[in-house]
Amino acid sequence: DQQVKQNSPSLSVQEGRISILNCDYTNSMFDYFLWYKKYPAEGPTFLISISSIKDKNEDGRFTVFLNKSAKHLSLHIVPSQPGDSAVYFCAAHLYNDYKLSFGAGTTVTVRA
Amino acid sequence: GAGVSQTPSNKVTEKGKYVELRCDPISGHTALYWYRQSLGQGPEFLIYFQGTGAADDSGLPNDRFFAVRPEGSVSTLKIQRTERGDSAVYLCASSWGAGGASGTDTQYFGPGTRLTVL
């Protein structure tokens, strides 16, 4: 039973433009949401997170938006750079229970 | 400093054999997690250690899978009587284990062990 879903397996974007990655979840008890980035042959690397009590968190070029009523979050990357080409995973966990439920990932390709 | 390391990076075995996968967490991290990533999917939780004890093993698929962390540092994931369906990348992650005011506990992942069961 997949509780975190990323319905777009891939995204191609021009360098300098905005990348928008989407994620939906089914468990309303999730307390924290995270985005991880993964390069080939490496483990996932933490990118940015957001608490369920917030609707936006920003860190440099990366902004995560949370819409609790819609059970939806998104990651915006502005501007996109070639080094952003990777697989991005959305993940979530319950309050005080840090094991992560992951989506299937979205492969981002930034074109020069 | 050194990140999470996992050995071997690749393991090929035959159906029915026993395998051990090793994880060296970041020094000082008390929490350690094992995940399994099958092709085209995201990582799936297997087991979580806080110190030496398995705090949550609800993700282990069956009793062929077992993990230990005897001294609260290095962990070994053990798979008995391997099946072709066990083929996946096995990821280990570690964290401070505190959570605390941040509300979350950032996990740092190793590069994984790719297990292939023939």
On chain A, the residues whose CB falls within 8 A of the CB of B42 are 4, 6, 89, 91, 102-105
Could you tell me the pLDDT band of residue A92, with boundaries at 50, 70 and 90?
very high
- Minimal C-alpha gap between A112 and chain B (Å): 26
B100 and chain A in contact, CB less than 8 A: no
Residue B99's pLDDT is 59
Residue B64's pLDDT is 98
Of A45, A89, A99, the CB nearest to B56: A99
A49 and chain B in contact, CB less than 8 A: yes
Q: Where are the alpha helices (DSSP H) in chain B?
A: none
CB-CB under 8 Å, B109 with A98: no
Is B111 within 8 Å of A42 (Cβ atoms)? yes
pLDDT digit string (tens) for B59-115? 999 999 999 999 999 999 999 999 999 999 999 999 998 655 567 789 999 999 999
Distances in Å between the alpha carbon of B106 and those of A16, A44, B93, B102, B112?
A: 29, 12, 9, 10, 17
A28 and chain B in contact, CB less than 8 A: no
Could you tell me the pLDDT band of residue A98, with boundaries at 50, 70 and 90?
confident
Taking the C-alpha atoms of residue A28 and residue A43, their distance in angstroms, rounded to an integer, is 28
pLDDT digit string (tens) for A27-80? 999 999 999 999 998 999 999 999 999 999 999 999 999 999 999 999 999 999
Is A19's pLDDT higher than 60? yes
pLDDT digit string (tens) for B21-67? 999 999 999 999 999 999 999 999 999 999 999 889 999 999 999 99
B88 and chain A in contact, CB less than 8 A: no
Of B99, B103, B107, the CB nearest to A100: B107
Residue A97's pLDDT is 86
What region, left, alpha or beta, does residue B103 occupy, with left being phi > 0 and alpha being psi -120 to 50 degrees?
A: left
Instruction: Give mean pLDDT, residues B3-15.
Output: 97
Residue of B107, B108, B113, B114 to mutate, testing the A interface (most A Cβ within 10 Å of its Cβ): B107
Sign, Cα dihedral of B3, B48, B88, B11: positive
The residue behind tokens 């509780």 is: A3
